[in-house]
Amino acid sequence: MSDTLYVETQGCQMNEHDTERLADLLVTEAGMRRVDDPESADVLLLNTCSVREKAQEKVFSRLGRWRRYKEQRPDVVIGVGGCVASQEGAAILERAPYVDLVFGPQTLHRLPQLVAAVRAGAGAQVDIEFPEIEKFDHLPAPRALGPTAYVSVMEGCSKYCAFCVVPYTRGEEISRPLADVVAEVETLAVQGVREITLLGQNVNAYAGRLRDGSSADLGLLIEAVAQVGGIDRIRFTTSHPVEFHDGLIEAYREVPELADFLHLPVQSGSDAILERMKRGHRAAEYEALVAEIRKARPSLALASDFIVGFPGESEGDFSQTLALIERVGFDAGAFSFAYSRRPGTPAAELSDEVPDAVKRQRLYQLQVVIGQQQMAAAQRLLGSSQRILVEGPSRRDPREFSGRTSCNRVVNFAGDDSLVGSFAEVRITETRAHSLRGEVVACERPRARPGSATQGVQIAVTDG
């Protein structure tokens, strides 16, 4: 009988993507069967996040529950991966001795061997190295799970923002060769994928090797991906204002497949705080960059990340953040966080911590302002026609279908299964708290597989 596998993910899109890839590997290489119920699984893996303290604490409460399953069935294998694993390593075994294996974000491809070693009685296994991007050569061919897919193009981060654990948990930036990324996109396109999100912790630092030994930036990679038959929409996440090269701005001007959306974290509007955060740019430089990108793509929707309550942040610093938000306009929303002290990062040594109550108050204030901007942007979409990639039935109501606009808004509408995987023109009729509603006015004929004579976009008009 094959082992059953349960994997739980915490944290960012990279972790979600890593989870899918490691599960695929254990299914194809180790013959495991994936299940949704942890209580019945033989192998339990937790892919963890340590960006904020809260996330890290969740790890041990989850492991505590899994320990009970192991007490009932001692053969159960418990593994911890991701950023907490990378940071804590063997220390996890001290706090939770019932854990059998600890693997890092760069060693998940070795899981079949690690599980086999545990099963063979070799004791607890810890493997949290940062081997040179070898993992991509050892993962099975990607499997499409729908019309959209993630593709990792680089790993790690070398920016070393003072507050952030990522460079320590995921290692320095390292990019996959351009041809490897394009080949992966082709494999997905053949399976019906229409939209690709290029993933990296700091994705605009992409520097992929070309066959002639030179290196390609993200703009060039986007152009190459846009050439792949069937790929009609490209996104990338997440970027940093430094190393946002001209080639990438050019891609916003020249590549229609590149979506009208950009997630560009700024963290703060105060130069003093940006400097303490070691972000490598000032507020005015961020604004100038946004202006340049908007010139290349006037329809761009902008999202960002903010941290409030970084050590030493005064009321004056915080009002500069609010002022920047007013000036720039974040029409696609923002991820905002109260600063969380992470041991091992340079900011953890700073003494002038902001009290929790102040952090909460600032977070609330910031979210109100961003919420208003986001709502106003949604109102502007009312009555417009948006090109939606139909992803599947809506989560709330299975009679409804759901997809995203180029500017990354979720839209729900009445439809049927034949639309899934196609682009539809949808007129926006209503705005809701976290989504839009609309009605289909035209849709592309279901797409034939690349290479067939009928490939190509044909719009058939239907009644709205």
Contacting positions for ligand F3S (CB under 6 A): 157, 159-161, 164, 166-167, 201-202, 240
Q: Which is nearer to ligand F3S, 237 or 412 (CB)?
A: 237
| Residues from 421 through 460 that contact ligand SAM (CB under 6 A) | none
- Say if strands 436-444 and 423-431 run parallel, antiparallel, or are unpaired: antiparallel
What does the alpha-carbon distance between residue 339 and residue 307 come to, in Å, rounded to a whole number?
Answer: 6
Task: Supply the minimum distance, in Å, between the C-beta of residue 244 and ligand F3S.
Answer: 12
Q: Note whether 17 and 152 are within 8 A (CB).
A: yes
**Which one among 66, 69, 150, 339 touches ligand SAM, defined by CB under 6 A?**
339
The H or E element that residue 94 is part of is helix 91-95
Q: Report the first-to-last Cα separation within the chain, whole angstroms.
A: 52
Task: Supply the minimum distance, in Å, between the C-beta of residue 14 and ligand F3S.
Answer: 10
Task: Supply the minimum distance, in Å, between the C-beta of residue 347 and ligand SAM.
Answer: 7
What does the alpha-carbon distance between residue 327 and residue 35 come to, in Å, rounded to a whole number?
Answer: 48
What does the alpha-carbon distance between residue 198 and residue 152 come to, in Å, rounded to a whole number?
Answer: 6
Q: How many residues bind ligand SAM (CB under 6 A)?
A: 17
Task: Supply the minimum distance, in Å, between the C-beta of residue 248 and ligand F3S.
Answer: 16
**Which one among 7, 12, 228, 274 touches ligand SAM, defined by CB under 6 A?**
12
DSSP class of 165: -
Indicate which of ligand F3S, ligand SAM, none lies near residue 167 (CB less than 5 to 8 Å, by partner kind).
Answer: ligand F3S
DSSP class of 123: -
Q: Is 420 in the site for ligand SAM (CB under 6 A)?
A: no
Indicate which of ligand SAM, ligand F3S, none lies near residue 205 (CB less than 5 to 8 Å, by partner kind).
Answer: none
Q: Is 267 in the site for ligand SAM (CB under 6 A)?
A: yes
Indicate which of ligand SAM, ligand F3S, none lies near residue 340 (CB less than 5 to 8 Å, by partner kind).
Answer: ligand SAM
What does the alpha-carbon distance between residue 34 and residue 93 come to, in Å, rounded to a whole number?
Answer: 25
What does the alpha-carbon distance between residue 14 and residue 240 come to, in Å, rounded to a whole number?
Answer: 16
- Both tokens of residue 433? 């708290």
Q: Is 330 in the site for ligand SAM (CB under 6 A)?
A: no
| Residues from 276 through 305 that contact ligand SAM (CB under 6 A) | 305
What does the alpha-carbon distance between residue 293 and residue 263 come to, in Å, rounded to a whole number?
Answer: 12
**Which one among 142, 208, 265, 269 touches ligand SAM, defined by CB under 6 A?**
265
**Which one among 92, 307, 370, 389 touches ligand SAM, defined by CB under 6 A?**
307
What does the alpha-carbon distance between residue 55 and residue 172 come to, in Å, rounded to a whole number?
Answer: 22
Torsion 86-90-93-99 (CA) sign: positive
Q: Which is nearer to ligand SAM, 47 or 202 (CB)?
A: 202
From the list 141, 152, 139, 260, the residue with the least C-alpha distance to 196 is: 152
Q: Which is nearer to ligand SAM, 166 or 388 (CB)?
A: 166
Enumerate binding residues for ligand SAM (CB under 6 A).
12, 51-52, 163-164, 166, 201-202, 238, 265, 267, 305, 307, 337, 339-340, 342
